[in-house]
Every structure is written in C-alpha cells, then in structure tokens.
Structure 1
Amino acid sequence: MKKLFFVFAVVMLWVTPALADTPDAKALWTTITHEDPYKKWDNWPDHEGIQPGAAPHGPLHEVFVNKAGLSKKGYPKTNGTIIVKENLTKEKKLAAITVMYKVDGYNPEAGNWYWAKFSPDGTVDKAGQVAGCINCHSSRKAQDYIMVSDH
C-alpha cells in the first residue's frame, strides 16, 4: 500500500501544473509561457485580435483566455480561468503582460482574482492582490472584474 501511494504521489507531482498550490507569480509565468502557452489560447469571442487600449495598459492590447475561462459563458468565471493581456505600444511592440488568474478562496472580496504584471522577459513587476488592478476592475464587479468582454 505504501508503495502504491508513493507511486501515486510521484505521478501527481509530475502531471500537476505549477499552479496547483497557492498562487505564485513565477509559477504563473511558467504555466502561461511553457506548460500551457497563452499564445495558443483563443481570444474572447467579442474581443478578437489587437484592440485599442487605454492607460495603464497602453494604446493597444490583445487578450488571450484559457479553456477554463471560455468554458462558461457569463459570470462568475470558473476557478482556474486565466486571462492574459499583452500590453502593446502604438508600434505594436510588447510592453508588458498583465494576467488575471481565478483561484478559489484566494481573495473573495475581489472575485478571487490573483493579479500579475510581467515585463516581456518574465520579470515580475507586481503580483497578488494589486490595489491598482482591483480598484480599476471593480467598476466591472458585476462582470467578475473582466473589463474587455461580455462573454
């Protein structure tokens, strides 16, 4: 029995993505760039391709959503939803990557979203319960803090 449990534990560590534990910016970056690359995800059906943006995200952006986020139309989104926004300059150069990651019980007062901002090379600029993100997105609390889609 002990041998079977050990094998199960090793297999679970091998197949479980980095985000299985408490939210962590580095693990989130690894997930969205290596384990489940966001560039292979879809856009919101009502927000496809590069779109005009606004501060603080820049003049242009493109938003990618993982399967969990697209699996349920309406709000609130499913736990495990990850939304990645490429913040682009007017020349369409990548300036930053901002991420919303829905984690059950993480921050109920703000929709259970974990927020992160990365430089293009993956350096963490901000992460966690980022007040600026929460304050701005709270204007769309009824839409689960999602600004750019009504899907």
Structure 2
Amino acid sequence: MTVLTAPAVLAGCLAAALSAGAAFADNSLVGFPEDHAEGLHYGTVERGNITEELYTDREAIEAAKRGEPFPSGTVITLVDYRGGDLHRYVVMEKRDGWGALSPAGTGAGDWLFREFAADGTPNPAEDGTRCMSCHRPQARQDFVFTVDRMKSVE
C-alpha cells in the first residue's frame, strides 16, 4: 500500500492544475469545516439583514495577537445568516504551497476560499476567485480583514 504525505498530495494537485491550464485555484482542496462551531467565535459582523458569525482556532488567534502570519492549516469560517436564516458558509483555509495553485496575480497568499450551501454542500458556481480578489489588498494582514477582532479575543 502506498501512503502519500501531504506534500506529495499537494505536489500532485499542483501539477494537475498547472497541466490543465486552470483559470483559477482548485478550491476543492478546502473541505467543509465540520467543527466550525467548536472553534472560537471571535466576531459578528452585521450589515442590514445579513449577520456573519466568524470562527477560527486558538492558534490563529494567538498568531494575530503576536502580529505573525497565520500558520499553515488555519481555517476561518464565516457563517452567513440572511433575515435570521442560515444562508451559507464561506471558508478560507491556508496551507503552505497553496499560493502556487492560483494563476499569477490572482491569489491571496497561501489561502484558498470555498463557499458551501446551508446544508454543507459545495457551491460549484463559486470558485473562490471573487473572494481572493477582495482579500488581496489585505496582504499586510496575511489577507485577513478581521485580524483586529481576533486580537481582542480573551
């Protein structure tokens, strides 16, 4: 039986994406975070009838407090409610080397983004490109808008 290490799997995915001439990063690498509710809730953003609940882990919070880049493996989950009803999940995940999966000038560091419906199924209409383009100007904060909120978590 062959056992593949994470770097070997990543290298294979990268090679496949590049050989296929991918127009965007393969966000299928970002899985649905089953344990998002067990993560640390670090913020709520309200815009009209939209409420976004933000979750991550303690290691990410501590990196933000130290002013350091987020470690590989960081997952940030946005749970989006519209009019009080669960609408979708938006997940950003950082892994060493994932930045190479995005065509030049389109990525947001080593982060990939994926949207999931309220039932946890992936939304194939969203490839993460829109998310990456919005987060790109936040490069000084490792592409994360809510670093200041993380810093205030006890």
Task: Give TM-score, length-normalised by structure 1.
Answer: 0.67
1-structure distance, mates of 2:99, 2:124? 16
Could you tell me which residue of structure 2 aligns to residue 133 of structure 1?
131
SS in 1 for 2:72: coil
Contiguous gaps of at least 5 residues in structure 1: 1-5
Change (3 A) 1:79 1:26: closer
Could you tell me which residue of structure 2 aligns to residue 70 of structure 1?
61
Aligned length: 124
> Using CA pairs below 8 Å that are at least 6 residues apart, which structure has the higher relative contact order?
2
Q: Is the 8 A contact 2:115 2:123 kept in 1?
A: yes
User: Deviation of residue 114 (structure 1)?
Assistant: 1.2
2-structure distance, mates of 1:26, 1:107? 12
User: Deviation of residue 92 (structure 1)?
Assistant: 2.0
SS in 1 for 2:63: coil
Deviation digits for residues 18-76 of structure 1 (CA, Å, limit 9, x no counterpart): 9x9548637712xx11xxx11011123xx3xx32148xxx7210000023322412242
Contiguous gaps of at least 5 residues in structure 2: 11-25, 101-106
User: Deviation of residue 129 (structure 1)?
Assistant: 6.3
Instruction: Establish whether residue 100 from structure 1 lines up as the match of residue 92 from structure 2.
Output: yes
Change (3 A) 1:28 1:42: same
Q: Is the 8 A contact 2:27 2:128 kept in 1?
A: no
Instruction: Establish whether residue 51 from structure 1 lines up as the match of residue 54 from structure 2.
Output: no
Change (3 A) 1:64 1:126: farther
User: Deviation of residue 96 (structure 1)?
Assistant: 0.6
Q: Is the 8 A contact 1:68 1:80 kept in 2?
A: no
2-structure distance, mates of 1:70, 1:21? 28
Change (3 A) 1:25 1:42: same
SS in 2 for 1:124: coil
2-structure distance, mates of 1:139, 1:24? 20
**RMSD, aligned CA:** 3.1
User: Deviation of residue 138 (structure 1)?
Assistant: 1.4
Could you tell me which residue of structure 1 aligns to residue 122 of structure 2?
124
2-structure distance, mates of 1:124, 1:51? 23
Q: Is the 8 A contact 2:78 2:90 kept in 1?
A: yes
Task: Give TM-score, length-normalised by structure 2.
Answer: 0.66
Counterpart pick for 1:28 among 20, 28, 31:
31
2-structure distance, mates of 1:93, 1:64? 18
User: Deviation of residue 111 (structure 1)?
Assistant: 1.2
